[in-house]
Chains A and B, each alone.
Chain A
Amino acid sequence: MPDTPPGNTPYAVRAYRPEALREALRKMLLIRKFEEGAEECYMRGLIHGTMHLSIGQEASAVGACMSLGDDDKITSTHRGHGHCLAKGAGVDKMFAEFFGKETGYCRGRGGSMHIADVAKGNLGANGIVGGGLPIAVGSALSAKRLGTGAVTVCFFGDGANNEGAFHEALNMASIWKLPVIFVCENNRYGMSVPTERSTAVKNIADRAIAYAMPGVTLDGNDFSAVAEAVDGAVARARAGDGPSLIENVTYRTRGHSRSDRNRYRSRQEIALWTERDPIPRMAKMLVSHGVMTEDDVEKMEAAAADEIASGIEAARSAPEPGVEDATRDVYTVHSEAME
């Protein structure tokens, strides 16, 4: 991507106060450090199971949440750590969840793939591709019926766009004019299959036409472009004009999950996208527009790393759930008849 032409101030710099921009970069750095920390814990055998890293996709998660408040909702995906942190989750409770601890967001019952922070409006990551799409529409239906004024941002990946749930959800959101923003994070692969081989349309946002809503494809590694598109869609939703589909073209530089051997893509391709890393781009934008200095960025990065390290340490020593509680929370009112 070319540098911003002189005199052409990016949307983000025009739209947000410097504190908000610095906070956005801080969150992007925190997401990156969080996932690198989680990955390292996994490699060291401290965390079991699997995880899906979004390294390289941070601009999409943070940019899409810029104009959301705690009352606004998001639904997230199996690659949802970034969404969770972008919506305001704390590192300590997230790591506690990754370590399966009672102090985690899901009391150790959900792990990476079901991370949620309902108090901050994150209705949860989802282990089923496309699972969150109809749920997001339901959340938007609640907001409309109850008159809360809240919007719902529905994150999903390119893989989900070929699920029936995607089409059913977009159609219903449109016929009922619901305040939901569908944010597709097109990282170009559904596990191993590239979108060119899985998806009949060139751009996933082209599918918006079929559901009579605005659709736009943009550089998902450009924080400002993401924020601009989503802010516009949020305003449209709040005004009662219905849903939008935004496609953030991005890339995960890590594999699909821990079992991925990267047989379906080349080192050159990964290197190319690594150069398009959204975090240095965001930092450069903020430095070049005087929002912060390079020294500030370095300090911010170091602080994020410290926060991650202490989060991991706290999680390691946090209490495990009791085995006797394995069947707790299946139902709201626990009864022996249900065991």
Chain B
Amino acid sequence: MNAESSVRGEVHELSYAESIRDAMDIALGSDERVVLMGEDIGVYGGAFQVTGSLVHKYGEDRVMDTPISELGGAGVAVGAALTGLRPIFEFQFSDFSTLAMEQIVNQAAKLRYMLGGAVSVPLVMRLPSGSGTGAAAQHSQSLEAWYGHVPGLKVAQPSTPRDAKGLLLAALEDPDPVLIFEHKLLYKMKGPVPSGYYTTPIGKAAVRREGTDLTIAANSIMALKAEEAAKTLADEGIDAEVIDLRTVRPIDRETVLASVRKTGRLLCVYEGVKTLGVGAEVSAMVAESDAFDFLDGPIVRLGGAECPIPYNPKLEEAVVPQVPAIIRAARDLANGAI
């Protein structure tokens, strides 16, 4: 399945947060097994107002405020998924999932395998992620590569309201645990979202812009920044192809390789720390494949700096890739200056 499932509904302008809420509303309304769990997701509406007023529609038994117990809460969600419910567990910040690594990595990811396929864990976790909010080092990380390293998990990163809804509904259909990293800076961004039910396939990248001179492979908000950079590059006569990875596990090898075979140049852009990050995997995918023979220059990575996210706004901006840096790197790569 390469495209969205059939979309019948009208298209409305919704914010990223509203589209996620719409997906959860549809799920709660159509499947009694679906429960939302998380900190302050009830009357407070969630730290980023994603669950909003769902508690008033579905009640506290289905939109469950958990205590501030990330490990225990995540484990309850694992146990519930194992025994018939379809929990959607919200971490208030993706950083707090580190408190629940045990349940995510040792339990949710491995139970099916350890038990020889006797069970599955249909669990969805939502993780508000990324920098740019001035929240500093413990509320701004991009941890998708950590979880992407774990067989048994799937990791999605929608960058548009449309994909945010489609990927969440796809995750709910999935019999295995899916972690969805939502970028906090996108929650208020509006975009076209079909009403009603549709899914966006997990494991399929989106080509946001077709081009012939170089491939920019990016994830989450970086795909949007890459698109913006591509507009400036086009004015300079550089025709960039922009790929939004959308999911990093499974990662869409074919779309990336096909693009690199066409353009002969690859720039990876990602907010997570550069070393051992998503761009390393994308680079290696190309280097290990026949697409390597099509390369006209070195693979270039732009990733997060090798430091925690700082508080000072100028520093915060400086430690993750921004549009001017993407333009410079793409220009140098396309012009053979690297």
A residues with a Cβ closer than 8 A to B are 73, 75, 104-110, 114, 116, 118, 123-124, 126-128, 131, 133-143, 145-146, 148, 164-165, 167-169, 171-172, 175, 327-333, 335, 337-338
Contacts and interface: CB of A to CB of B under 8 A. Distances in A.
A165 B33 CA distance: 25
B80 A171 contact: no
Contacts of A108: 116
Contacts of B119: 116, 118, 123-124
Given A124-B114, A331-B112, 5 more contacts: A107-B116, A134-B72, A137-B72, A169-B75, A172-B76
B117 A139 contact: no
A112 to B, nearest CB: 12
Minimum-distance CB pairs A-B, first 6: A138-B79, A134-B75, A168-B72, A107-B116, A135-B79, A329-B117
Given A131-B107, A134-B79, A134-B103, A330 B113 contact: yes
Contacts of B69: 168, 171-172
B61 A138 contact: no
8 contacts: A116-B118, A124-B119, A133-B75, A141-B85, A142-B85, A168-B75, A172-B73, A338-B151
Q: Which of A110, A134, A136 has the most CB of B within 10 A?
A: A134
A210 to B, nearest CB: 13
A73 B84 CA distance: 12
Given A134-B72, A134-B103, A145-B61, A104 B116 contact: yes
B120 A332 contact: yes
B9 to A, nearest CB: 27
A337 B77 CA distance: 27
Contacts of B114: 106, 109-110, 114, 116, 124
A73 B83 contact: yes
A62 to B, nearest CB: 23
B85 A145 contact: yes
B115 A146 contact: no
Interface of B: 33, 35, 61, 66-67, 69, 71-85, 87, 102-103, 106-107, 111-120, 151-152, 154, 175-176, 203, 249-253
Contacts of A139: 79-80, 82-83
Q: Which of B71, B79, B113 has the most CB of A within 10 A?
A: B79
Contacts of A338: 151, 249-250
B116 A135 contact: no
Contact of A137 (B79, B154, B175): B79
A168 B73 contact: yes
A141 B115 contact: no
A330 B79 contact: no
Contacts of B61: 145
A328 B83 CA distance: 22
B106 A131 contact: yes
Contact of A136 (B79, B102, B203): B79
Contacts of B115: 105-106, 109-110, 114, 116, 118, 124
Contacts of B102: 128, 131, 165
A42 B226 CA distance: 58
A135 B152 contact: no
A175 B249 CA distance: 36
Contacts of A145: 33, 35, 61, 80, 85
A108 B115 CA distance: 9
A137 B83 contact: no
Nearest to B61: A145
A74 to B, nearest CB: 12
A123 B82 contact: yes
Contact of A330 (B67, B112, B251): B112
Contacts of B67: 168, 171-172, 175
A137 B75 contact: yes
B72 A171 contact: yes
B151 to A, nearest CB: 5
B203 A337 contact: yes
Given A134-B72, A138-B79, A172-B66, A146 B120 contact: no
Contacts of A171: 67, 69, 72
Contacts of B87: 138
A46 B149 CA distance: 34
Given A135-B107, A142-B84, A171-B69, A105 B79 contact: no
Given A110-B116, A118-B118, A124-B111, A335 B203 contact: yes
Q: Which of A128, A137, A145, A335 has the most CB of B within 10 A?
A: A145
A106 B249 CA distance: 25
B85 A134 contact: no
A172 B118 CA distance: 27
Contacts of B73: 134, 168, 172
B83 A143 contact: yes
Contacts of A137: 72, 75-76, 79
A331 B152 contact: yes
A146 B87 CA distance: 13
A116 to B, nearest CB: 5
